[in-house]
């Protein structure tokens, strides 16, 4: 009996070891094309259509997955992916249903709006673009991918690369500003940051470039509104960043809500098939935006079955939330409104993406609980976020070198954004734990320690209108509205200010005053804060305005009355530390605007790369001239131009030269300039190159960004900065939509922003 028991024990031990070894070895599967084709051949029509369905999970709580309605659909093969579900435990539980209980055991994609970081949150994208540093921007995407993937996410709906020249549009905060060249560089950096060089690695995720296309140009700056523009503007100004993302290998593209040439993007075959796939060679899959298919009914394109067929025929592969594909495609197939080939092609692209991610090799590759514990919101990531945030801040004014502040005396910190940690991460920070964000008050207090005294008062609420404040502080972004009277709040602030040597006013927008569905007609600070600021100025103490915003604001009045203005956007989870680093001079500000600041909302849309009219203003002083292109009541030029940003030091540009005065199509031209740090601080400068085509077959902008370099200069140091110009830099889309360069005269500008530039000319010859 003992021998028999020993035999059984040995057998069980060997069996368990063998099973453990088998479990630890990843299965060897066929190459992608063969594997996906074989899997497709086994699928029923219902299972195929199910792969095209992307519902939201409603963030299932742990333990609910098996009993939820979504679980039943997953088990029946009616779901291809889920989004808005967070944490390894929840995702593993849901993935288990797909790979262990559904018939074909096809794993799910798990997506989330990882827009500017995960739990470690970086500046809003508009702020991030003001670093003009592609390595830093790429690094933010890498960290976001690492943290999101450690928490089970394998697909992000980012980057948003929509060009916007209208700050009334709230989602300007989510993009990279007004310029197609800068936007294209950022698009490439973000895609490569998320996806890396190998999607099989467990710290890379699928990117999704959005919103394709033209979403950033709605009429009136009102979100979701009609977009209407010429093809030549589309190709030259708005499409380049999307194409850059496609060229960088983005795995997916999201269709936009707006219409193009009278057809909503979600059902626009010219856009999604002719342009995206045939012209650009895109190989990934297209997903709709939230209920984008269903919303074509309100556009006037037909009922749900009609618009679902329209979307599939146009080139959409995945239906986000609306379930139009799930509920109507079988009927449309039977009626000949769609084909089996179209359905199979769409399914193939979804399965390809899952294969590329390695989900068929290991469906639980993103479900390592140890990664979730050790790779999210780490001290290293937070430190990087702090440094990157400091690089994004833009110094707009610094009269009398008021900044940097000294860590001595008494400093009054006043304003509704001063102690508002819930707002520091800005809009679209869905994974951020707001309670961990650092307020400006906390950052400044820790920065000065016992060397200086920080006195704080709120001073005012966000706005006099409580209902407006409620709309502007959604999604947990509360400002804890103070129930004292306006007079009581102001009195406390003035008392604090009178006790202090200097006043720091933390004012501007709340986080949700910009972002999706947060369009504005008034681009000034709320009246309550404007009134507070003017009362603080009347005291006679030096005032520094720390301006929080998710868009270019109209601060013409503040620029006249406040000696120092630091625009901080929403700098992320480490905001307070980063702002304090700049205020006290630990970091010399080097951010440059990626979007123009208007003098008045009436100037909007406003951007540097405008075209001349036949009657341009003839003087450079902004004075009104009748029968010229100008305003009766405002100057033409902006308050702060694209590319603008001051430093605590100063820079001198000199000795601009070209390697030759003429250039053939096959040649390369070298442009060189010397930059000297003439101030008293070490600093960084973004050297910007612009080109103007003086004569063209179609009208050309007065100036276009074609290159930039961010350099570091020690006090008194001079560096020679060179740019290489090729014929590609001189190309544009002509009236036939041909991408061409034309012989003729060109102007080349190099300088510190789009206005202040040294100029030289050259000729392009055949």
Reduced to 3 DSSP states, what percent helix, strand and coil does the chain have, rounded to the nearest 5? 35, 20, 45
Closest residue by Cα to residue 570 from 553, 551, 554: 551
667 is known as an active-site residue:
no
Instruction: Give the Å distances, CA to CA, from 622 to 529, 599, 609, 612, 752.
Output: 30, 12, 18, 15, 21
β-bridge pairing 543-548 and 564-567: parallel
Give burial (CB, 10 Å; 0-12/13-18/19+) of 4: exposed
Closest residue by Cα to residue 48 from 330, 291, 277: 330
Q: Which backbone phi and psi does 286 adopt, to 5 degrees? A: -105, 130
Q: Is 77 left (phi over 0), alpha (psi -120 to 50) or beta?
A: left
Instruction: Give the Å distances, CA to CA, from 474 to 191, 423, 535, 553.
Output: 29, 10, 29, 21
* 320 in Cβ contact with 288 (< 8 Å): yes
Residues, the chain, total?
766
CA distance 206 to 251: 6
Neighbour tally for 698: CB within 10 Å: 14
Catalytic residue among 133, 151, 289, 419: 289
Neighbour tally for 626: CB within 10 Å: 6
Which residues lie closer than 8 Å to 462 by C-beta, 6 or more apart? Answer: 416, 468, 469, 472, 473, 479, 481, 510, 526, 528, 529
Which residues lie closer than 8 Å to 691 by C-beta, 6 or more apart? Answer: 703, 704, 706, 725, 729, 730, 746, 747, 748, 749
* 173 in Cβ contact with 225 (< 8 Å): no
CA distance 594 to 127: 8
Side-chain-side CA neighbours of 93 within 13 Å: the count stands at: 19
CA distance 250 to 195: 8
Closest residue by Cα to residue 151 from 376, 379, 385, 437: 376
CA distance 117 to 127: 13
Closest residue by Cα to residue 518 from 549, 478, 555, 482: 549
Given CA atoms 585, 586, 591, 596 in this order, what sign does their dihedral have?
A: negative
Q: DSSP assignment, residue 382?
A: H
Q: Which backbone phi and psi does 494 adopt, to 5 degrees? A: -65, -35
What's the N-to-C CA distance of the chain in angstroms?
98
Enzyme catalytic residues: 289
């Amino acid at each position: 009996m003992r021998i028999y028991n020993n035999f059984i024990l040995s057998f069980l031990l060997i069996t368990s070891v063998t099973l453990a070894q088998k479990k630890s070895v990843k299965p060897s599967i066929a190459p992608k094309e063969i594997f996906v084709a074989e899997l497709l051949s086994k699928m029923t029509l219902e299972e195929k259509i199910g792969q095209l369905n992307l519902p939201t999970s409603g963030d299932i709580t742990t333990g609910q997955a098996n009993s939820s309605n979504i679980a039943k659909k997953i088990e029946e093969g009616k779901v291809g992916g889920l989004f808005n579900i967070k944490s390894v435990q929840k995702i593993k539980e849901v993935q288990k249903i797909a790979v262990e209980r559904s018939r074909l055991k096809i794993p799910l994609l798990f997506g989330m709006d990882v827009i500017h970081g995960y739990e470690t949150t970086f500046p809003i994208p508009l702020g991030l673009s003001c670093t003009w540093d592609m390595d830093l921007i790429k690094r933010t995407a890498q960290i976001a991918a690492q943290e999101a993937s450690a928490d089970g996410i394998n697909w992000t709906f980012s980057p948003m690369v929509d060009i916007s020249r209208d700050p009334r549009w709230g989602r300007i905060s989510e993009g990279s500003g007004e310029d197609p060249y800068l936007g294209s560089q950022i698009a490439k950096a973000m895609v490569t940051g998320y996806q890396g060089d190998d999607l099989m690695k467990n710290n890379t995720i699928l990117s999704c470039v959005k919103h394709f296309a033209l979403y950033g140009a709605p009429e009136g700056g009102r979100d979701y509104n009609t977009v209407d523009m010429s093809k030549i503007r589309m190709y030259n100004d708005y499409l380049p960043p999307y194409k850059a993302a496609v060229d960088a290998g983005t795995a997916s593209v999201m269709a936009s809500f707006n219409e193009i040439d009278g057809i909503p993007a979600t059902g626009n075959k010219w856009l999604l098939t002719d342009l995206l796939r045939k012209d650009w060679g895109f190989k990934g899959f297209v997903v709709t935006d939230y209920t984008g298919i269903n919303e074509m009914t309100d556009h006037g394109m037909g009922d749900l079955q009609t618009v679902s067929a329209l979307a599939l025929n146009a080139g959409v592969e995945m239906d986000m939330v609306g379930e139009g594909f799930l509920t109507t495609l079988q009927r449309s197939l039977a009626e000949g409104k769609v084909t089996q080939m179209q359905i199979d092609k769409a399914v193939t692209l979804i399965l390809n993406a899952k294969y590329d991610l390695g989900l068929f090799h290991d469906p639980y590759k993103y479900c390592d609980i140890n990664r979730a514990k050790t790779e999210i919101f780490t001290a290293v990531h937070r430190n990087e976020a702090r440094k990157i945030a400091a690089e994004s801040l833009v110094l707009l004014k610094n009269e009398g070198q008021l900044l940097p502040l000294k860590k001595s005396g008494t400093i009054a910190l006043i304003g509704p954004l001063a102690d508002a940690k819930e707002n520091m991460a800005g809009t679209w920070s869905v994974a951020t734990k707001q309670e961990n964000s650092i307020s400006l008050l906390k950052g400044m207090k820790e920065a000065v320690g016992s060397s200086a005294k920080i006195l704080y008062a709120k001073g005012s609420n966000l706005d006099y209108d409580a209902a407006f404040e409620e709309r502007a502080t959604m999604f947990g972004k509360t400002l804890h509205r103070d129930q004292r009277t306006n007079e009581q709040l102001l009195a406390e602030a003035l008392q604090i200010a009178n006790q202090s040597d200097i006043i720091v006013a933390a004012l501007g927008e709340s986080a949700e005053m910009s972002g999706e569905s947060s369009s504005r007609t008034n681009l000034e600070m709320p009246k309550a804060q404007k009134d507070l600021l003017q009362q603080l100025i009347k005291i006679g103490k030096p005032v520094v305005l720390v301006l929080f915003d998710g868009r270019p604001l109209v601060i013409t009045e503040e620029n006249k009355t406040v000696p120092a203005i630091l625009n901080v956007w929403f700098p992320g989870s480490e905001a307070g530390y980063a702002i304090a680093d700049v205020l006290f001079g630990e970091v010399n500000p080097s951010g440059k605007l990626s979007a123009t600041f208007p003098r008045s909302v009436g100037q909007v849309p406003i951007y540097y790369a405008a075209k001349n009219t036949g009657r341009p203003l003839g003087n450079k002083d902004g004075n009104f001239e009748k029968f010229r292109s100008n305003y009766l009541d405002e100057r033409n030029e902006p308050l702060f131009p694209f590319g603008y940003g001051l430093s605590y030091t100063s820079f001198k540009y000199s000795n601009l030269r070209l390697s030759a005065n003429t250039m053939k199509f096959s040649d390369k031209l070298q442009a060189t300039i010397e930059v000297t740090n003439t101030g008293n601080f070490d600093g960084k400068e973004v050297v910007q190159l612009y080109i103007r085509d003086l004569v063209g077959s179609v009208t050309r902008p007065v100036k276009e960004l074609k290159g930039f370099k961010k350099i570091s200069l020690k006090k008194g140091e001079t560096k020679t900065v060179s740019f290489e110009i090729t014929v590609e830099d001189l190309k544009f889309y002509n009236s036939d939509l041909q991408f061409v360069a034309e012989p003729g005269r060109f102007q080349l500008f190099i300088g510190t922003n789009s206005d202040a530039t040294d100029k030289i000319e050259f000729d392009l010859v055949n």
